[in-house]
Structure 1
Amino acid sequence: MALNKKVNVIVLTYNQEGIITQTIESIVSQETAFNFDIIIGEDGSTDSTLNIILNLQKKYSNKIRIISSNRNRGMYANFLNCIKQLDAEFIAICDGDDYWVDSKKLQKQIDFLDKNKDFSLVGTLCKYLDVATNKFKEPNVFNEKYREYTFQEILSKNPFTTSTVVYRKFLLDDFLKFYNQNNNHLNSFLDYTLWIYFSYKSKCAILNNITTVYRLSPTNFSQNPALIKRWEFQLYFYNQFKFYIAALPKISQITINKATYCKAKQLYILALYNSDDAILAEFEAVFLKQRDYVRYFLLKFSRTFPQIIILAKNYEKLIIKINFKK
């Protein structure tokens, strides 16, 4: 095992025999002036994923640690098992179905964090691979070298792709203390939960470099074609958002109002599809308070006219076109 590691890279995987080699090889091939290793959380795969990563461990014995499970415990439990093994100054993440395409990715991010001590989380840009069509979608690049994101911006909408991020371990340790004090209310946490907390405590940024490929497929929770599953995923983070605005001190009412309005705009159509009356009532009140009367009346009449969903989708498409032309 490499000594004096500067970075631990966490990889969570389950039943990814066809793609996990590309993921691991893209990490091992990183060119750095420091030592790093890979902690692979293998969550009881029923295919040959475990055998593949065991062979990769033989090939790269000083780079790979495997935390395996005899059954599928889920993403959260898998992540908890991995973070117990952390022993480096920085943490990077690459999900098992994504991969890195810039051999200098880690070096660029560590250089940034070493130079900018007031930043604790830095991501990069990524491009998206539609596995159904095998076509890539390129991201919008910045004019600047990096873009800083405020707590209000991150609270309103997650700008980070998990497989791009690097963050300081001490901030995770700080979060875990906060979590242990509040776990009766927070219950569990995933990536976006961490980014909100980190941005509350420190500065966060995204570098203007494309380093990662994110696979768009039905196996991604956020891309699940089953609307009820997608809503469960989004509702999880929405409930954690509500916990944060209640639990974190010194958040201004202006910030809370703006972030809550953004959440309502992002989620109300999915809530309509899933007929979540409790959440729809919350969003209805938010739209009325913000004098967004179009969305307010769309929700107000949705219980009487189910076809409101189509009107709402068309309205959101129109808003996107108008904003694009500005």
Structure 2
Amino acid sequence: MQQPVISVLMMTRNHQAYLEQAVMSVLTQQFTEPFELLIGDDASSDQTLQVAHRLQQQHPEHIRVLHAERNVGITANFLRLVAHARAPHLALLEGDDYWIHPEKLTLQLDLLHRHPEAACVAAATANRTPCLPVKPSYTLRDILRRYPVHTSTLVIRAEHLLTYPRFPDIIGWITMLMGYLVARGSCVVLDLTVSFYRRHEGGLWHNADRLNRLRRSRQCIDALDAYFFHRFTPELSSRELWILGMDQALPQRGRRRHWYQSWTILIGQAPRLLRRAPLGFCLLLASLGFQPLAYITMLLRRRLALGMRLRALVSSAPVPR
């Protein structure tokens, strides 16, 4: 087996319905250099491991499967794949997402070669709202303030992962990874959409309940704040307020309960946020207070628009003779 130029690291757990599409999106890349695909199964309880082994048998020249007997968590699963990777470059893809650009690896590696100062390269993702405008490169402050790049777009220089901090193993692992990487070099951006982010109930983020998501987000922010010795507290506070603002959006069902719960959450976080970002916290409180009025106004506008349409239909209908 030739020495690979790039190792694709695919973290998976209970992805039996999606894994084959993810794998084939890697194998069908228009990439002329040697590569390997490492599939790390984190003790799946469905048929994910069987699917991975079947694909390995079909493509033994590219695929290696690593299996955990017990659930180790996504960070440990990722680092286990890093330890087994043989290439100087690492591309990331979780087993429920997939690549949609046939030249993703070629274009991103070319960009990385042209920017020796960069620690990694990213791109755009379909089915995901951008958090920041696309830029030629993202700084550490960009990465800490928002979530500008998705896991499925990353290609990393493996040399930067010879050591890694003991961050908590939680949903926000990719933000902590990006903070660590971009502190060591820039993140250059390929201005193309190269992957598809799949939303489903089994996903790590969407499967977590609301309070658990917010708790884990705070854990991620606190871990990064401590790692950088509080030098980027304003950026991380901006991130926390942004997450809370998105979380306040009223769902289709249970709006009243969601609104009351938002007040409970903000009151509970008041001492922390008043200390870190008092103005931002007050603005968030004000937006939550006006939320019912904004919702009622939206309903009235919809009713008014519907009434105008009905009147227009009635007036344009032919009069029977």
Q: Calculate the TM-score normalised by the size of structure 2.
A: 0.77
- Whole-Å Cα distance in 2 between the matches of residues 100 and 291 of structure 1? 37
Return the match for 1:153 from 129, 142, 145.
Answer: 142
Using a 3 Å threshold, how does the CA distance of structure 1 residues 110 and 239 change in structure 2: closer, same or farther?
Answer: same
Using a 3 Å threshold, how does the CA distance of structure 1 residues 172 and 41 change in structure 2: closer, same or farther?
Answer: same
Return the match for 1:220 from 194, 200, 203.
Answer: 203
Letter in 2 for 1:73: V
- Count of residue pairs the alignment pairs up: 281
Question: Within 5 Å, which residues of 2 pair with 1:142-181?
Answer: 147-173=136-162, 175-176=163-164, 179=165
Moved more, 83-92 or 159-168: 83-92
Maintained 8 Å contact 1:221/1:233: no
Maintained 8 Å contact 1:8/1:86: yes
The structure number with the bigger radius of gyration is: 2
Map Cα deviations across residues 232-279 of structure 1 (whole Å, 9 max, x no partner). 3322312222223317xxx4xxx5424423433433675964637664
Tell me the secondary structure at the aligned position of residue 45 of structure 2: coil
Letter in 2 for 1:103: P
Tell me the secondary structure at the aligned position of residue 122 of structure 2: strand
Aligned equivalent of 2:234: 257
Question: Within 5 Å, which residues of 2 pair with 1:259-298?
Answer: 259-267=236-244, 270=247, 273=262, 275=265, 279-288=269-278, 290=279, 293-295=282-284, 298=286
Letter in 1 for 2:283: V
Question: Within 5 Å, which residues of 2 pair with 1:45-194?
Answer: 45-128=44-127, 147-173=136-162, 175-176=163-164, 179=165, 183=166, 186-188=167-169, 190-194=173-177
- Whole-Å Cα distance in 1 between the matches of residues 20 and 64 of structure 2? 15
Using a 3 Å threshold, how does the CA distance of structure 1 residues 43 and 261 change in structure 2: closer, same or farther?
Answer: closer
- Whole-Å Cα distance in 1 between the matches of residues 224 and 22 of structure 2? 31
Q: Calculate the TM-score normalised by the size of structure 1.
A: 0.76
Deviation at residue 230 of structure 1 after TM alignment: 1.7
Tell me the secondary structure at the aligned position of residue 215 of structure 1: coil
Aligned equivalent of 1:303: none
Letter in 2 for 1:148: S
Aligned equivalent of 2:183: 200
Letter in 2 for 1:214: Y
Using a 3 Å threshold, how does the CA distance of structure 1 residues 279 and 83 change in structure 2: closer, same or farther?
Answer: farther
Aligned equivalent of 1:134: none
Maintained 8 Å contact 1:269/1:312: no
Using a 3 Å threshold, how does the CA distance of structure 1 residues 313 and 153 change in structure 2: closer, same or farther?
Answer: farther
Question: Within 5 Å, which residues of 2 pair with 1:18-33?
Answer: 18-33=17-32
Map Cα deviations across residues 13-34 of structure 1 (whole Å, 9 max, x no partner). 1111111100001001111131
Moved more, 114-123 or 224-233: 224-233
Deviation at residue 49 of structure 1 after TM alignment: 1.3
Percent identical among aligned pairs is: 21
Maintained 8 Å contact 1:113/1:119: yes
Maintained 8 Å contact 1:44/1:68: yes
Tell me the secondary structure at the aligned position of residue 197 of structure 2: strand
- Whole-Å Cα distance in 2 between the matches of residues 235 and 277 of structure 1? 15
Return the match for 1:230 from 213, 228, 231.
Answer: 213
Maintained 8 Å contact 2:122/2:149: yes
Maintained 8 Å contact 1:268/1:280: no
- Whole-Å Cα distance in 2 between the matches of residues 138 and 266 of structure 1? 14
